[in-house]
Amino acid sequence: MTSIVSSLTPNQISGLSVAAIQALTTTDISALNTSQVAALKATQVNALNSTDLNQLAATQVAALSSSVMSALLIAQIQAFTTTQVTQFTSTQVGVLTTGEIGALTATELQALSTTQANALTATQIGGLTTTVLNSLSTTQVGALSTTQVQGLTTTQLNNLNTTNLDAVNVARLTGTQAAGLTTTNITNLTTTQVAAFTATGVSALSVGQVNSLTTTEIAAFTAATAGALTSAQIAGLTTTHFAALSSTTALPALSTAAIGGLTVAEINALTTTQGNSFIAAQIEAMSIDQVSALVTLIG
């Protein structure tokens, strides 16, 4: 038997009282077309129980208005199936509260497409708990936009598990975020991530953070990464760390200002190949003590 609800106009649907909404059967709910679903108000949808919500088809879920989505009760969010969650539109995802996002299961979060995950605003990202963030897949974390990554707080970044931390595009971090990373997390970065640091990110690192990098990570410094090192960072590097800089990319890229922080001990720790990698502008910027050490090194 056809539900009478299917004959109602969107305006009539919108005008139904909460009592009338609660009186609808699961058959009635299933019979609603997308225009009717879109007409539902938050107070009406809030009156639906879990069974009612489970009756919504993919097209019906996608038709729920932004005002309805942002007002859903936690219990209602939890009532959605993974299949229904994957039908959320980007607009719907973008209006969910952090509480609603937190109510999604790890399975549901990981089922979100890259498009859906990218719809999260910086404010939403910044309000997510560590548990929720670590429920995201590495693919989702790696696909976060610059705006989203920069919405993460230092606490959130430092509480990411190693797997998700290694998926973060560090090129999108602000200087403040880079400076806030713990030495443990700095050590846990991949060589690809270290090489991707922007000049702003590298120059914001403390001497302690730079020295917490492994020699393998130091060896991964690109010309751009090394070129952003400050004189204070160079002066503070251990001889082991400094000697790990590549003679083909990093050492020739050090700025003349950074050369000013170079210690004699660091020069002495280099190989002759590394010593010969300094370019004319760098040598001209060296002090007499630095030049003397370099000449002694390369003979």
Cα–Cα–Cα angle for 45, 51, 57, rounded to 5 degrees = 75
Only one residue has tokens 């400094």, namely 242
Domain for residue 10, yes or no?
A: yes
pLDDT value for 2: 57
* CB 212 within 8 Å of CB 204: no
- The count of structural domains within the chain is 3
Domain containing 150 equals 92-168
Tokens for 106, please give them: 């790890």
Mean pLDDT of 189-199: 94
Q: Do residues 99 and 163 share a domain?
A: yes
User: Domain boundary residue among 168, 196, 224?
Assistant: 168
Mean pLDDT of 202-218: 95
How would you label 90-114 residue by residue, b for 16+ Cβ within 10 Å and e otherwise? eebbbbbbbebbbbbeeebbbebee
Domain for residue 262, yes or no?
A: yes
On the 0-12 / 13-18 / 19+ scale of CB atoms within 10 A, 32 is buried
Domain for residue 85, yes or no?
A: no
Domain for residue 86, yes or no?
A: no
User: Domain boundary residue among 113, 145, 168?
Assistant: 168
Domain for residue 186, yes or no?
A: yes
User: Domain boundary residue among 49, 80, 111?
Assistant: 80
* CB 135 within 8 Å of CB 111: no
Domain for residue 160, yes or no?
A: yes
Domain for residue 155, yes or no?
A: yes
pLDDT digits (tens, 9 = 90+) for 238-288: 999 999 999 999 999 999 999 999 999 999 999 999 999 999 999 999 999
Mean pLDDT of 73-87: 94
> Which residues have C-beta within 8 Å of that of residue 84, sequence separation ≥ 6?
53, 54, 56, 58, 61
